[in-house]
Structure 1
Amino acid sequence: MRANTAEKWLEERIRKYGPISKLSLFGKPTVFVYGQAANKFLFSSDISTIGYQQNQSLRKILGEWNIFELSVEDHKRVRGALVSFLKPESLKQYVGKMDGQVKEHLEMHWHGKPQVEVLPLMKTLTFNIICSLIFGVERGARIPVNLLFTRYNRGLKASATVQNMVKDLIREKRVEVEQKGASPYQDLITCLLSTRKDNEEVLTEDEIVHNVMLIMVPGHDTSSVFMTFIMRLLANEPAVYAAVLQAKTKPSEEFLTWEDLTKMKYNWRAAMETLRMVPPAFSGFRKALKDIEYGGYLIPKGWQIFWAIPMTHMDNSIFPEPS
């Protein structure tokens, strides 16, 4: 990965062993699967057959009650609560808010600068937006410290610090929900606190904290990397850049709306093509929760299942001239 040759290594492995092979990763027996059929197998299997799998270091930083660590029933319950935050009636309220933060960021860090470092700035922007949407707080002293994205030992200490800050915010939000009737679409924590069954909160405090942590870390990394690469690709493709700019249909002082986004079809295609060519995450893991037969082979219960996203995205038998 450090030498940026992981794809070549996997291509050689596929040529040598075919679309399914076994190896050891992070000290665990692992099956590597490749191809469209493998993708369908992974993403359409029942969650009682194939579960999520994270390496131990990430699990310790994010917490054991994050959605990727939960059993079938707990997974369904927590997933249902999180998905309620992503309903259109919720998302519609955030479009203008996010647009305002982007404009403020560009004015502060980009305008008038002869040169900028895109990735660090995108990390700053995504971190501020994520904190705004999760906690309902803007830039300033009360945003959870941007410490989680450090090396492991420091990351564990930072995780404890951030979890305590999140717990304090949850207690404040709980008062707002119970005493002031705060809107469930105000931010993620308010939404999760407002998700109730038989007048009881669906999620425990630890489940809220650990899943907030889960959203902060991968969401921060993937979004900032994606935005960096789409800028690079637009800079290198003037025709695409010009077509993307045509979506601008309102004065700069007005914020975007949900309706504006639904009209930006070409921009969405440019975004999807960027994700195909340069996916922000290289690979992923699942775990066999029972013995599974796939491709004429037995994957034993407890084994890791590993796949790499670019291997199909850049396959010229699927996408002619993939680059």
Structure 2
Amino acid sequence: MELMVFMTLLLLLILVPIFYLFNHKKYNGRLPPGSLGLPVIGQSLSLLRALKADKVEKWFQERITNHGHVWKASLFGYPTVVLHGPAANKFVYTCDGNLLANSQPPSLTRIVGCKNLMELSANDHKRVRAALVSFLKLEVLKQYVAKVDVEIQHHLQSHWHGKHEVQVQPLMKTLTFNIICSLLFGIERGTQREKLLPLFHDMIEGVLSVPINLPFSKYNRAIIARKKLVPMIIHLIQKKKEALMEQNQGDIPHKDLITSLLSIRHDDSSTMISEEEIIDNIIVVMIAGYDTTSVLLTFFLRLLASNKSIYSTIVQGNTNML
């Protein structure tokens, strides 16, 4: 095993300079200041270290100080221009759609798919966005309150009750994952969730990694995880299609995101969502919601633990509601 890893690293050291020699593009000198760094790696490792140390703001500020509000870098295998400040935001949000378009690095697309919302533009973007937003309407969200409450009660009983000390962030990730399985996939607790969890973790780690597709890399594990996950989603889609055909669609509540998207697809052909679009957007919503939600919940619990007045106000508010 050690010999195989050594040989792989040696091969990489030989191939990277060759890749750089034959693929390094010559630019016309109009690029902003900054450095593209080493091929493939670029500044990705330093950015990942900053993310893990919660020093992303410092990482960006150092480069803004050195290069100004517009600078270049190489991130996750691709040359990138970074724009900062109100003028940059105004430019991005008001410029012609033909000048800027939604696009992610190909390395990310290999994990989340090419039909996800971040890759689509114009009418396709509007169509898929409208379909996803329909899942978040107030009357639809009301249907999920009971399901979320069941997941939370089970989580507290399993991981919190009777414990003198707990690690909050890992538990918030567990809770977030279980709610995602319930609301996005309609998967109840059991073996299906257990099969999904390791694939889910590999894809999350691969999104924020240097895109080197070698057997020992996080990126390679993420690509393999997607290949295993897609057939599972296709199987779920087929089962939910059969359930929709057996019942009157108008009487079926949108119990999960897959069912919601399939129902829209059946109701109106002008807003049809393809199976590939369902798969890719399920994956991107799953990845996008996991870390953000678990981190937010962790900081919220930290706030309650360190500020008794806020905790008391929330408890009092809940008591009054009851």
Question: How high is the TM-score relative to the length of structure 2?
Answer: 0.71
Q: Which structure carries more strand by proportion?
A: 1
Correspondence list, 1:112-131, <5 A = 112-131=162-181
Q: Which amino acid aligns with 1:194?
A: S
Moved more, 220-229 or 18-27: 18-27
Moved more, 146-155 or 102-111: 146-155
1:153 partnered with 2:248: no
Distance 2:96 2:144 in 1: 33
Q: Which string of whole-angstrom CA distances, capped at 9 and with x for unpartnered residues, describes residues 106-155 of structure 1?
A: 11100111111112111111111011111222111233611222222222
Alignment partner, residue 49 of structure 2: 2
Q: Which string of whole-angstrom CA distances, capped at 9 and with x for unpartnered residues, describes residues 245-273 of structure 1?
A: 2331378xx8xxxxxxxxxxxxxxxxxxx
Q: Which amino acid aligns with 2:222?
A: G
Distance 2:89 2:276 in 1: 32
Distance 1:51 1:241 in 2: 44
Please tell me whether Structure 1 or Structure 2 has the larger radius of gyration of its CA atoms. 2
Residue 231 and residue 41 in structure 1: after superposition, are their counterparts in 2 closer, same or farther (change >3 A)? farther
**Residue 127 of structure 1 aligns to a residue in which SS?**
helix
Residue 32 and residue 167 in structure 1: after superposition, are their counterparts in 2 closer, same or farther (change >3 A)? same
Q: Which amino acid aligns with 1:30?
A: T
Q: Which of 230, 246, 249 matches 2:300? A: 230
Question: Displacement, 1:208?
Answer: 0.7
The higher relative CO (CA closer than 8 Å, separation ≥ 6) is in 1
Question: Displacement, 1:49?
Answer: 4.2
Distance 2:166 2:94 in 1: 42
Correspondence list, 1:169-180, <5 A = 169-180=236-247
Question: Displacement, 1:180?
Answer: 1.2
Q: Retained in 2: the 8 A contact 1:184–1:194?
A: no
Moved more, 1-10 or 226-235: 1-10
Question: Displacement, 1:43?
Answer: 4.7
Q: Which structure carries more helix by proportion?
A: 2
1:63 partnered with 2:63: no
Question: Displacement, 1:45?
Answer: 5.3
Alignment partner, residue 248 of structure 2: 181
Q: Percent identity?
A: 48
Residue 56 and residue 236 in structure 1: after superposition, are their counterparts in 2 closer, same or farther (change >3 A)? farther
Alignment partner, residue 124 of structure 2: 74
Residue 106 and residue 48 in structure 1: after superposition, are their counterparts in 2 closer, same or farther (change >3 A)? farther
**Residue 31 of structure 1 aligns to a residue in which SS?**
strand
Query: Is there any run of 5+ residues in structure 2 with no aligned partner, and where?
Result: 1-47, 203-217
Q: Retained in 2: the 8 A contact 1:131–1:137?
A: yes
Q: Retained in 1: the 8 A contact 2:71–2:83?
A: yes
Q: Which of 102, 113, 118 matches 1:52? A: 102
List structure 1 runs of 4+ shifted beyond 4 angstroms.
43-49, 197-201
1:241 partnered with 2:311: yes
Moved more, 46-55 or 221-230: 46-55
Query: Is there any run of 5+ residues in structure 1 with no aligned partner, and where?
Result: 255-323
Question: Displacement, 1:52?
Answer: 2.9
**Residue 22 of structure 1 aligns to a residue in which SS?**
strand
Q: Which amino acid aligns with 2:231?
A: N
**Residue 191 of structure 2 aligns to a residue in which SS?**
coil
Aligned alpha-carbon RMSD (Å): 2.4
Q: Which of 246, 257, 261 matches 1:192? A: 261
Distance 1:184 1:75 in 2: 25
Question: Displacement, 1:57?
Answer: 2.9
Correspondence list, 1:204-283, <5 A = 204-249=274-319
Distance 1:116 1:198 in 2: 48
Question: Displacement, 1:240?
Answer: 2.3
